[in-house]
């Protein structure tokens, strides 16, 4: 653009001073003619660098995901093709699921056994409670029998005493006395038997209470209204099912599997340092690097354009998303040593400006690592920004030239 302006200016000078000779062509006019474009172009370029700053370092950045399986095992299938678009959820590779399936089956059997044991324990607790109730009923029955026999025993003792007095005085007969004494002995035997039954019932109650407490202690550990052993095995089963599901590794998002070296028969493990596959997201970010003093008037929402060497002659429209006001030179490593500011002058830092591609070019494929030029158009002195747009368009036309001799 500067060359075009100089060409137009030179044509005007030639027409005015040489062809038409409207003004004299002397030393004064010659110096003036030379100074005007120098001062004008310098002022124009300096103004453009503020109101429409340009960057010769526009980059396309994509996130790279190191695909690491959650489980280890022998790879049995790698259906993904390298450098082909893969949608989110598509299978990248499969690990032999056999040992994980066996673990799931074993834990399912253990869970069924544990659930049955928990039901049996519940029944045992109910049985123990029934025995406690039964022993308490036997105690009440024995106590009632003892009270009944005790009243009869007291009456029998009274009769024996009365009959003995009558026999001594000759008013009674021995047969009645012997019959009363026989009844007394029988009632004494009954009350002894009742007391024995009461003691036995109380002993049974103690044993039933001890058994009930023991069973309740065994069932006391619960998690979410489920016996602890059952909950523990159920958690192990869920983990085993999850591990089984992880034997099929899928794409975390849409993107490309790059440099796929994984093959069936390979052994892979959950070790972050050695990923099984490198996956590049389809989504991208475009950043333009600017020197610090070039961003005085730039703010989010400003119009922007950029070109990429990948697409010669194409202008990609965008807007400023944000300015990343941070860089590595603004950080000091956490150390017990004194901060080091480098051994020589540190180069001037640049700040990245994140650009959002407009809807028109949003679906355009932008390869990771693509570079190019760009410009941001602020809301100030818009009249001269056309020059920056022309410069950018001329530059992208030059991208068609492949300057090499082989």
Q: Are residues 72 and 147 in the same domain?
A: no
Q: Are residues 276 and 297 in the same domain?
A: no
Q: Which of 318, 260, 335, 326 is nearest to 284 (CA)?
A: 318
The total domain count for the chain is: 4
Q: How far apart are CA 406 and CA 404, in angstroms?
A: 6
What CATH code is carried by the domain that includes residue 172? 1.10.287.620
What CATH code is carried by the domain that includes residue 314? 2.40.30.170
Residue 335 maps to a domain: no
Residue 338 maps to a domain: no
Q: Are residues 236 and 256 in the same domain?
A: no
Asked if 184 and 156 touch (Cβ cutoff 8 Å), the reply is yes
Q: Are residues 210 and 318 in the same domain?
A: no
Residue 195 maps to a domain: yes
Q: Are residues 150 and 189 in the same domain?
A: yes
In this prediction, residue 225 carries a pLDDT of 67
In this prediction, residue 2 carries a pLDDT of 60
Residue 46 maps to a domain: no
In this prediction, residue 224 carries a pLDDT of 58
Residue 211 maps to a domain: yes
Per-residue pLDDT 10s for the chain (406 aa) are 566 676 777 888 777 777 777 878 788 777 787 888 788 778 888 888 899 999 999 999 999 999 999 999 999 999 999 889 999 999 999 999 999 999 999 999 998 888 887 777 677 677 777 777 877 787 788 788 877 777 877 777 787 787 777 777 766 677 776 777 787 788 778 778 877 887 887 787 777 777 767 766 566 566 556 777 878 888 999 999 999 999 999 999 999 998 888 999 999 988 888 888 899 998 899 999 998 889 989 999 999 999 999 999 999 999 999 998 887 777 676 766 666 655 555 456 789 999 999 999 988 999 988 999 999 999 998 888 898 898 899 889 888 888 777 7
Residue 337 maps to a domain: no
Q: Are residues 22 and 68 in the same domain?
A: no
Residue 343 maps to a domain: no
Q: Are residues 110 and 91 in the same domain?
A: no
Residues facing residue 77 across a β-bridge: 94
Q: Are residues 8 and 34 in the same domain?
A: yes
Q: Are residues 144 and 259 in the same domain?
A: no
Q: Are residues 212 and 229 in the same domain?
A: yes
Q: Are residues 133 and 185 in the same domain?
A: yes
Q: How far apart are CA 202 and CA 209, in angstroms?
A: 10
Residue 116 maps to a domain: yes
- Domain encompassing residue 5: 1-40
Q: Are residues 127 and 103 in the same domain?
A: yes
């Amino acid at each position: 653009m500067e060359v075009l302006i100089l060409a137009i200016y030179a044509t005007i000078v030639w027409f005015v001073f040489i062809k038409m000779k409207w003004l004299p062509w002397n030393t004064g006019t010659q110096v003036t003619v030379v100074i005007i474009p120098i001062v004008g172009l310098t002022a124009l370029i300096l103004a453009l660098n503020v109101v429409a700053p340009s960057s010769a370092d526009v980059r396309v950045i994509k996130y790279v995901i190191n695909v690491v399986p959650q489980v280890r095992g022998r790879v049995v299938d790698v259906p993904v093709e390298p450098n082909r678009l893969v949608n989110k959820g598509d299978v990248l590779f499969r690990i032999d699921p056999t040992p994980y399936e066996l673990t799931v089956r074993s834990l399912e059997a253990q869970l069924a056994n544990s659930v049955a044991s928990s039901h049996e324990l519940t029944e045992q607790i109910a049985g123990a409670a029934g025995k406690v109730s039964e022993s308490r009923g036997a105690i009440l029955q024995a106590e009632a029998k003892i009270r009944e026999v005790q009243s009869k025993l007291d009456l029998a003792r009274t009769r024996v005493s009365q009959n003995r007095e009558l026999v001594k005085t000759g008013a009674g007969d021995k047969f009645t006395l012997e019959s009363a004494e026989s009844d007394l002995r029988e009632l004494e035997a009954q009350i002894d038997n009742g007391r024995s039954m009461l003691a036995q019932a109380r002993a049974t109650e103690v044993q039933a209470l001890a058994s009930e407490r023991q069973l309740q202690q065994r069932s006391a550990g619960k998690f979410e209204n489920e016996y602890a052993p059952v909950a523990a095995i159920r958690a192990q089963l869920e983990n085993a099912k999850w591990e089984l599901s992880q034997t099929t590794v899928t794409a975390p998002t849409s993107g490309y599997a790059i440099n796929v070296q994984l093959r069936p028969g390979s052994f892979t493990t959950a070790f972050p340092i050695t990923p099984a596959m490198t996956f590049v997201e389809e989504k991208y970010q475009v950043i333009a690097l600017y020197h610090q003093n070039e961003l005085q008037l730039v703010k989010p929402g400003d119009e922007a354009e950029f070109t990429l060497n990948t697409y010669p002659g194409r202008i990609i429209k965008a807007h400023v998303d944000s300015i990343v006001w941070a860089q590595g030179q603004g950080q000091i490593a956490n150390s017990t040593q004194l901060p080091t500011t480098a051994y020589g002058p540190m180069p001037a830092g640049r700040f990245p400006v994140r650009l959002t591609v407009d809807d028109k070019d949003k679906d355009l494929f932008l390869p990771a690592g693509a570079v190019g030029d760009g410009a941001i158009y602020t809301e100030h002195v818009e009249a001269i920004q056309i020059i920056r747009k022309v410069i950018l368009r001329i530059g992208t036309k030059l991208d068609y030239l492949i300057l090499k001799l082989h």
